[in-house]
Amino acid sequence: MKITDTSDLWWKSAVIYCLDVETFMDWNGDGVGDFAGLAHRLDYLAELGVTCLWLMPFYPTPDRDDGYDIVDFYGVDPRLGHFGDLVEVIRIARDRGMRVIADLVINHTSDRHPWFKAARSSRWNPYRDYYVWRDSPPAHDGAPVFPDQETSNWQLDEKTGQYYQHVFYKHQPDLNITNPLVRDEIAKVMGFWLQLGLSGFRVDAVPFLLDESGVIDGAKLLPDPHAYLRSLRSFLGRRSGEGVLLGEVNLPRDEQELFFGGAEGDELTMQFDFIAMQNLYLSLARQDAGPLIAALESRPAGSPDSQWANFVRNHDELTLDKLSDAEREEVFAAFGPEASMQVYGRGLVRRLPPMLDGDPRRIRMVYSLLFSLPGTPVLFYGEEIGMGENPEAPGRMAVRSPMQWNSEPTGGFSAARPSRLRNAVVPGGYGPAHVNVESQRRDPDSLYSFIRGLVQHYRNAPEFGWGAFAVLPQSHPSVLAHSLTWDDRTVVVLHNFSASPVSVPLDLGRAHAGCRVSDLLTGATSSLSASGRTTIELDGYGFTWLRVIPEGERLEY
């Protein structure tokens, strides 16, 4: 068997775990999570099998947008600790085999950032051109990102009599990347954190970073905004041989390919696959694998070194904006029929287990998909134990509740009184009394144990991160059957989106005649026919991961 060196592209087979320091573990008892608490929970993440830790913003902030409104790109919010605490987390993570990446939020700042304070002091201030200004808003402007909060992308600054652009909230003025000084500052920010030990960045809102539509002076526009993204990737490569740029790009497929850099693969290293995620939920609602299959087959080929990041849930609303209106209503009806469960008219503020009514068969099938689809799996904290959302929290904060470590009233997150927590714990049946790490770690049949097992099998099968993907023809609309082949190794994976059991006739072709297939999850083996065929029995919401073992070879794990 041919073995290829994969060490330089570690992210191709990583397990990424996203967390917010302030909701993960509070070590000093003030009601806010901190780096000291995270340091004490890194062994837990290593035990789960996490290989890359993604930290949501930890920079100094007025905290009007959960940390995405930043007043100092070079600092650590004092509520969370100090530089020494952060460096200790990075060091311990490295010792446990985990790299650390962090949110890079460079399309805007807080309106309390020193740059913006200086910029709005007068029209002639040197920092004025760090932001985008107009005498009046454009006649035709895009819709606000948060239509329930903002009515325009422009806000009047009364002192200077001009409007500044803010694609997000009015307290988050947009940076002007046509200004070379701003581009230099962004490079310095990246270089600073790479020098401190980060292995890359999750780049926030990448299309908005490259958007120059608000700039009036055409002479200042960049000849090619994507050339700027390529320069950031090049800078990352010079400063860190292992660095990764994981981009948030929720766009149609043809535009997503541009952000990878096409066949050259010289822009973003990875992108979240928003289209596959949204169609996963449509497939779940219909009990039909077709929408997900179509989404996976629509992925652009791109560079073999580019990678998709697969996810079930993230820290924002579960957006469904790339579905048609009718499709979105199907998902709403199935998983979020109440207005309080929906947000911005385009998404859901729910976690997976409550959406699936706690059905362990469907929940496990979805996470089996997450770890067996081509690409890199990304977990949002608490998914491994089946945390639910807090329906009493506003908007996106519903899924940003404290991590549930044990059955105590605060879930073991903090020694503070529940009333002192910045974010309340999940109430009711998905609260800490029923869903927590402590009880699930002792239970071999728990969701935690199941996902930990999936992580181990995923890490032992490089085909999932590296393999060539193909949908296998079969007769059941409810079934996704696909193969992943890397070097001379192949895995075949089947998932049943229906509650009804099915018998799936599978034809792997004469090239596999005489081979055996071994179920990676159960250890059961069977042989293919002389024509390379077999029949796979799947329960309702059932799944199987099969290793194809050539004739005469022993099973490898």
Identify the pLDDT of residue 249. Answer: 98
- 205 Cβ contact partners less than 8 Å away, ≥ 6 residues apart: 105, 107, 167, 168, 248
To which residue do tokens 């454009």 refer?
138
- Which residues, in sequence order, are CB contacts of 169 under 8 Å at separation 6+? 64, 65, 69, 146, 149, 150
**Matching residue, tokens 């990878």:** 260
Q: How far apart are CA 186 and CA 169, in angstroms?
A: 21
Q: What is the pLDDT of residues 451-499, one digit of tens each?
A: 999 999 999 999 999 999 999 999 999 999 999 999 889 999 999 999 9
The per-residue pLDDT for 556 is 59
Q: Which of 65, 174, 248, 317 is catalytic?
A: 248
| Domain residue limits, the chain | 7-107+178-459, 114-165, 467-549
- Cβ pair 430, 388 in contact under 8 A: yes
Closest CA to 483 of 334, 400, 328, 373: 373
Strand 200-203 relative to strand 99-104, pairing: parallel
8-state DSSP, 42: H
Q: Give the integer Cα–Cα distance in Å for 51 and 96.
A: 9
Pairing, β 16-19 against β 99-104: unpaired
Q: What is the DSSP string of 401-452?
A: PPP--SSSTTTTS-SS-GGG-SSPPPPGGGSTTTS-HHHHHT-TTSHHHHHH
Question: Which 3 state secondary structure label does DSSP give 85?
Answer: helix
Q: What token pair was written down for 3?
A: 């073995």
How big is the CA angle at 504 (ends 551 and 524), to the nearest 5 degrees?
45
Q: Which of 204, 383, 389, 463 is catalytic?
A: 204
The string over 402-411, giving b where at least 16 C-beta atoms fall within 10 Å of a residue's C-beta and e elsewhere, is: bbbbeebebb
Fold category of 467-549 in CATH? Immunoglobulin-like (2.60.40)
In this prediction, residue 153 carries a pLDDT of: 96
Give 10-residue mean pLDDT values along the chain (557 residues).
Answer: 60 98 98 98 98 98 96 98 98 98 98 98 97 93 87 96 97 97 98 98 97 87 96 97 96 95 96 98 98 98 94 96 98 97 95 98 98 98 98 94 98 97 96 98 98 97 96 97 94 98 93 90 91 95 96 65
Helix spans in 122-224 (H): 180-195, 206-209
Distance of CA 403 to the CA centre of its chain: 18
Tell me the β-bridge partners of 226: none
What integer pLDDT is reported at residue 3 of this predicted model?
A: 39
Tell me if residue 469 falls in helix, strand or coil. Answer: strand
Report which of 499, 453, 503, 439 is spatially closest to residue 476, judged by C-alpha positions.
503
CATH topology of domain 114-165: Oligo-1,6-glucosidase; domain 2 (3.90.400)
Q: Where are the beta strands (DSSP E) in 240-395?
A: 244-247, 270-272, 307-311, 318-319, 342-343, 347-348, 376-380
Fold designation for 7-107+178-459 = TIM Barrel (3.20.20)
Please, are residues 319 and 347 in contact by the beta-carbon 8 Å criterion?
Answer: yes
Cα–Cα distance, 386 to 406 (Å, whole number): 13
- The one-character DSSP state at 331 is H
Rg (CA), the chain: 24
The answer for residues whose C-beta is within 8 angstroms of residue 484's C-beta and 6 or more apart is 374, 463, 464, 467, 468, 469, 470, 490, 491, 493
- Per the CB < 8 A criterion, the answer to whether 44 and 437 are in contact is yes
> pLDDT digits over 99-112, tens only?
999 999 999 999 99
Pairing of strands 99-104, 479-486: unpaired
443 tagged catalytic = no
Say whether 204 is catalytic. yes
Contact 189, 258 (CB under 8 A): no
Residues for the chain: how many in total?
Answer: 557
Specify the residue for token string 């947000």.
343
CA distances from 517 to 8, 369, 440, 512 (A): 31, 19, 31, 10
CA distances from 330 to 323, 333, 359 (A): 10, 5, 19
The first and second tokens of residue 489, run together, are 């190794």
> What is the 3-state secondary structure of 3-21?
CCCCHHHHHHHCCEEEECH
Q: 413 with 404: CB under 8 angstroms?
A: yes
